[in-house]
Amino acid sequence: MGGPLIANNVVVGIANAHPGAAADCEELPGLYTRVSNVVDYTTDILNGGFSGNASEVLLFPATR
């Protein structure tokens, strides 16, 4: 459950939710990723720059 957040035909975010049924998700917080915060990281991976070490986790606080 989840998917892209699109504005003016551009992906600007990604929404993600618990993989259970929608009724099971009511008490869980939404999880969103602002795509602009991870463009360089994503581009690096797509260009083969990922070393395979996933020990670093990138966290960006939500803003409204």
Domain boundaries, the chain: 2-46
**So what's the pLDDT on residue 38?**
79
What phi, psi does 43 have (nearest 5°)? Answer: -60, -40
% of the chain residues with pLDDT over 90: 0
- DSSP collapsed to 3 states, the chain: CEEEEEECCEEEEEEECCCCCHHHHCCCCCEEEEHHHHHHHHHHHHCCCCCCCCCCCCCCCCCC
pLDDT band of 18, cuts 50, 70, 90: low
User: What's the mean per-residue pLDDT of the chain?
Assistant: 69
Reading the block at residue 53, the tokens are 């070490």
Instruction: State the pTM of this model.
Output: 0.41
What pLDDT is stored for residue 4 in this prediction? 79
Can you tell me the distance from the alpha carbon of 34 to that of 62, in angstroms, rounded to the nearest whole number?
Answer: 9
pLDDT tens digit string along 19-45?
555 556 666 667 777 778 778 877 887
